[in-house]
Amino acid sequence: MALNKEIITKLIDECFQAKQFAYNRYSNFSVGAAVLADGGTVFRGCNIECASYSGTICAERSAICGAVNRGCRRITAVAICGDVKAGDVCAPCGICRQLLAEFAAPVSDGKRDMEVIMARSDRSYVVEKLSDLLPRSLDFVDAVLDASFRRTT
């Protein structure tokens, strides 16, 4: 699905709505995310903090969990916003980048990728390809196929 200004604006609106529900009693840093499923459905998520830090979940992963729980397996775009100072954007952390790569939709040449829309507080934004933010993502299937190929040659 090609991202036009209307879709980008909708995703940014959705991530700002999700940010309102952040549970951030330890950091006081709210983040919202909206993922666009391959079929056009949007799923929202917010960050949820926990006293046991490893139990904390980022907004992007929260949105992905919601999508997967409803049968989605391919994501074409994600929009993210956070409590950053004016002019800055909130980029996905490394764990979120890897999980986004896991569900990225196929693009030309058999590879998978997605658009990452990082919104500023004034709703202006930066768009980057996930493959640029995470150039060497882990792909278990590719790793297994590569290892299998090496054993037979």
Q: Give 44-65 pLDDT, tens digit per residue.
A: 999 999 999 889 999 999 999 9
Q: Which residues contact 66 (CB under 8 A, 6 or more apart)?
A: 43, 44, 45
pLDDT of residue 102: 93
φ, ψ of residue 107 in degrees (nearest 5): -120, -175
Task: Name the token pair of 134.
Answer: 């995470």
φ, ψ of residue 111 in degrees (nearest 5): -90, 165
The catalytic residue positions are: 60
How does the average pLDDT of the chain come out, rounded? Answer: 89
Q: Which of 21, 24, 42, 40 is nearest to 32 (CA)?
A: 21
Query: Distance (Å, rounded) from C-alpha 40 to C-alpha 143?
Result: 30
Per-residue CA distances from 153 to 140, 142, 145, 148 (Å): 20, 17, 12, 9
pTM of the predicted protein model: 0.88
End-to-end alpha carbon distance in the chain: 39
> pLDDT digit string (tens) for 106-146?
887 778 899 999 999 999 999 999 999 998 777 655 554 44
Coil, strand, or helix at residue 122? coil
